[in-house]
Structure 1
Amino acid sequence: MNTPATADAPIDDFSQCHAGIFRKLDMLGELPALLQPAARAREVAEKALDFFREAIFEHHLDEERELFPAVIESAEAGEEREQVKAMARRLTDEHRELERLWKSLESGLKKVAKGQFSDVIDVATIEALVSRYRAHAEFEEQAFLPLSQQILGRNANHMAALGMSLHMRHARGPLNAYV
């Protein structure tokens, strides 16, 4: 003869099964919230790839081929010119370092842009690139560009020549289309 507790065992089994189903359903319910950051990661990676290819490397070339030489040539001989040369060397060296960091991230970013996320990006390298680029741009904004304005501003022809040179390099489309 069965005891009442033993007779309820099949029903308890169903109830326990539902508890497991509820846990899995709760987990599945988390998926929509997780998909949004994944989609954003793909979008950010795609835009970063385009931006670096199309804008950043071109920006570095503009500075190195046009801006730095124009400012060096227009600087007064002696201390001012040596200061400008040192700043241009520093900025050019930083360009190479930033480009090296970018190259180390590029293949991982391509994978993220395709939705492949497992250990493809070195977070420390991204953080280094972002912080070093910010410091690089701040130095340009606070030190080099104001000095460049001062030096090139002494002669309207020098400023106009730089403007024309940049215009000719970018006749195919503006650099700040990505900004």
Structure 2
Amino acid sequence: MPYTDSPHPVHIDASLAGFSECHHDFVAQLHSALYLPELVEAAAKARVMANDLLKMFGHGVSRHHAEEENELFPAVLRAAESGPEFDKVRAMVDQLVGEHRDMEARWAQLQPEVEAVARGEVRAMDAALIQDMVQHFFAHAHFEEEHFLPLAQKVLGRDSESMAALGHALHQRHRQQEAADA
């Protein structure tokens, strides 16, 4: 059917039909172009999100895990009462450290794809891998928030010196990291 604004069909001769078909194709292509600004904006948002993830895992998550493993976990283990409490803390610490290694391995699989997006490269991403990593991270954070940190508060809260020592160690670590980052 020829492209026309007329409410009545117009007959176009076969010799002119090719021109009409071109108009249909052009109109369809231009209609699609209306979505181009939205897609460019989405691509820019994807680059920002990818860069934020790279920073989060490169600095935030790795530092957080290091603080837990080098300061928090040892402090809670030292302050735990021997017997069932210590055994419970030890089991939780072992679980959490294992989850840290697991998350690092998952991130190592995903990182090249995220780096490509950060560079503005258009490529398919493994949605299942992202979903898997996010679910494991949420489960890890939930376990820490609901189980380990309340136990750590109980254990460290019995001895103000243990809590103060942890605070001092974390403060020193932050100062060293800030100096290294400067």
Q: TM-score, normalised by structure 2?
A: 0.87
Percentage of identical aligned residues: 42
The one-letter code matched in structure 1 to 2:154 is Q
1:20 aligns to 2:25 (yes or no): yes
- List per-residue Cα deviations over 1:136-161 (Å, max 9, x = no partner): 00000000000000110001111000
Structure 2 distance, partners of 1:61, 1:173, is: 12
**Aligned partner of 2:106 among 88, 101, 109:** 101
What residue is the counterpart of 1:118 in the other structure? 123
1:141 aligns to 2:145 (yes or no): yes
Structure 1 distance, partners of 2:101, 2:80, is: 25
* Aligned Cα root-mean-square deviation (Å): 1.6
What is the CA-CA distance between 1:87 and the residue it aligns to? 0.2
**Aligned partner of 1:150 among 154, 165, 169:** 154
What is the CA-CA distance between 1:129 and the residue it aligns to? 0.8
Structure 2 distance, partners of 1:13, 1:92, is: 68
Structure 2 distance, partners of 1:83, 1:21, is: 69
1:169 aligns to 2:173 (yes or no): yes
**Aligned partner of 2:48 among 40, 43, 49:** 43
The one-letter code matched in structure 1 to 2:67 is D
Mean alpha-carbon deviation: is it higher for 18-27 or for 132-141?
18-27
The one-letter code matched in structure 2 to 1:17 is C
Mean alpha-carbon deviation: is it higher for 11-20 or for 68-77?
11-20
Unaligned runs of 5+ in 2: 1-10
Structure with more relative contact order (C-alpha pairs < 8 Å, separation 6 or more): 1
Q: What SS does structure 1 have at the residue aligned with 2:175?
A: coil
Q: Number of aligned pairs?
A: 168
**Aligned partner of 1:57 among 62, 65, 69:** 62
